[in-house]
Amino acid sequence: MKPLRTTVAVAALALACLVGAAPAQADVPTARGLLQAGAAQGVADGYPAVVGLVRRGDVAQYASAGVGVLGARTPADPKAQFRIGSNTKAFTSTVLLQLEAEGRLSLDDTVAKWLPGAVAANGYDGSKITLRQLLNHTSGLPDYVSGTFGLNYGANLQPYQTWAPQALVNLALSQHAPTSTPGGQWSYSNANYVLAGMVVSAVTGSSPADEIRRRIVEPLGLADTTFPTTDPTLHGNYLHGYEYPLGMAGVILDVTTSNVQAFGPAGAMVSTVDDLAAFGRALMTGKLLAPAQQAELETTVPVNATVGYGLGVIHRQLPCGQWAWGHNGAVLGYFSDWLSSEDGSKQVVRANTEFHLLTPTKGQTDTAKATADAFCAL
């Protein structure tokens, strides 16, 4: 355990992550039981489905409750795909760290070096913000997920609307004038990772989706992980996503088809619990990054006394005293998180199939506790 390398919760969504010494593999069934009980409670709380995985070494077991699509009797499949939201950020940061290792950029480069004029409005200055500050959310840039954008996205009114990355950045800059200087404090903003994706394109000439596929998805064999860029629908074996519209008691809407360009490299990817566990293990054990970049990944800024944010990853101390690395993700219809020990020996991953842009709900609280308890039992 790295005591002062804090870890952070992602945006308005608090995750539970842990790390530490773990008992023998005989505790995998116990951990699975805790996660299964939490999944059942999540469904009792109103989730259509909850799926998850616990893994100690190469021993993995699954949890699931509910149904993959409302109105059907087919149990939710823990092997099915779902939208992973802000868990995408760890993939994006990994690409930038790899580019640094290749000598093609430095995380201490300014945004303006690679994206001249992209951040130059309402008092914001890209020549004073570094790439590192984008990745650890200390840039001081506002988020764009509010106001009319948030209402339209939350109501799923425009699933096929196209959003140019710069348009999302401009929307963020227009929210308000700076309230802190770059590097001054942690403040979560999806605009940071939209800009990070723009830097990937500027440096490589390829899209973030192509670079993530070539550098991470294909080498790790993540057969069920994709980065949709235009198609808002899901394909193959997937869990439907739902939302309870605000102010409409008793109503639940299927929002499986939703806008992917609204988040892009900040939150557009699709995956499974198996693939997220495999990615988390590879990332935390240095299979994707050189040692210098691994150290940068895990260097965190404080969010509070027990939570810190690295470069697209969270480090958090759970109530049982253990620490874990991970992240969480919330997009319309889906809420998920993954936890990994630093040595990659244990993972817990969970996905819920309802999200309506508010947190915490009882379902989030109950399933997050079960995820943390399962990790502690490994």
Predicted model pTM: 0.93
Instruction: Say how far apart CA 154 and CA 38 lie, in whole Å.
Output: 26
Q: Nearest to residue 338, comparing CAs of 330, 327, 329, 346?
A: 327
pLDDT in tens, 247-305: 788 899 999 999 999 999 999 999 999 999 999 999 999 999 999 999 999 999 999 99
3 state DSSP class of 63: strand
Q: Write the CB contacts of 42 (distance below 8 Å, at least 6 apart in sequence).
A: 50, 65, 66, 352, 363, 366, 367, 370
User: Which CATH number fits the domain that encloses residue 331?
Assistant: 3.40.710.10
Instruction: Say how far apart CA 214 and CA 76 lie, in whole Å.
Output: 30
Task: State both tokens at 112.
Answer: 């303006």
Instruction: Say how far apart CA 247 and CA 356 lie, in whole Å.
Output: 11
Q: Considering the domain boundaries, does residue 62 fall inside one? A: yes
Query: Is the distance from CB of 160 to CB of 259 less than 8 angstroms?
Result: yes
Q: Considering the domain boundaries, does residue 170 fall inside one? A: yes
Mean confidence (pLDDT) of the chain: 93
Q: Considering the domain boundaries, does residue 12 fall inside one? A: no
Q: Considering the domain boundaries, does residue 8 fall inside one? A: no
User: Parallel, antiparallel, or unpaired for β 346-352 and 334-340?
Assistant: antiparallel
Q: Nearest to residue 273, comparing CAs of 338, 187, 188?
A: 338
Which member of 64, 86, 139, 336 is catalytic? Answer: 86
Instruction: Say how far apart CA 73 and CA 320 lie, in whole Å.
Output: 37
Domain that holds residue 307: 25-377
Known catalytic residue at 201: no
Instruction: Say how far apart CA 51 and CA 30 lie, in whole Å.
Output: 16
pLDDT at residue 361 greater than cutoff 50:
yes
Label residues 280-319 b or e (16+ Cβ within 10 Å = b).
Answer: bbbbbbeebbeeebbebbbbbbebeebbbbbbbbbbbbbe
Tokens 């519209």 label which residue? 245
Q: Phi and psi (nearest 5°) for 202? A: -65, -35
Q: Considering the domain boundaries, does residue 16 fall inside one? A: no
Q: Considering the domain boundaries, does residue 10 fall inside one? A: no
What pLDDT is recorded for position 27?
A: 82
Q: Considering the domain boundaries, does residue 20 fall inside one? A: no
Query: Is the distance from CB of 300 to CB of 5 less than 8 angstroms?
Result: yes
Sign of CA dihedral 304, 144, 165, 230: positive
N- to C-terminal Cα distance for the chain?
16
Q: Give the count of domains, the chain.
A: 1
What pLDDT is recorded for position 368?
A: 97
**pLDDT-wise least confident of 116-120, 216-220, 355-359, 371-375:** 355-359
Q: Write the CB contacts of 94 (distance below 8 Å, at least 6 apart in sequence).
A: 215, 216, 283, 288, 289, 297, 312
Q: Considering the domain boundaries, does residue 82 fall inside one? A: yes
pLDDT at residue 6 greater than cutoff 90:
no
Instruction: Say how far apart CA 87 and CA 270 lie, in whole Å.
Output: 10
pLDDT at residue 13 greater than cutoff 90:
no
What pLDDT is recorded for position 26?
A: 53
Q: Nearest to residue 224, comparing CAs of 207, 214, 238?
A: 238
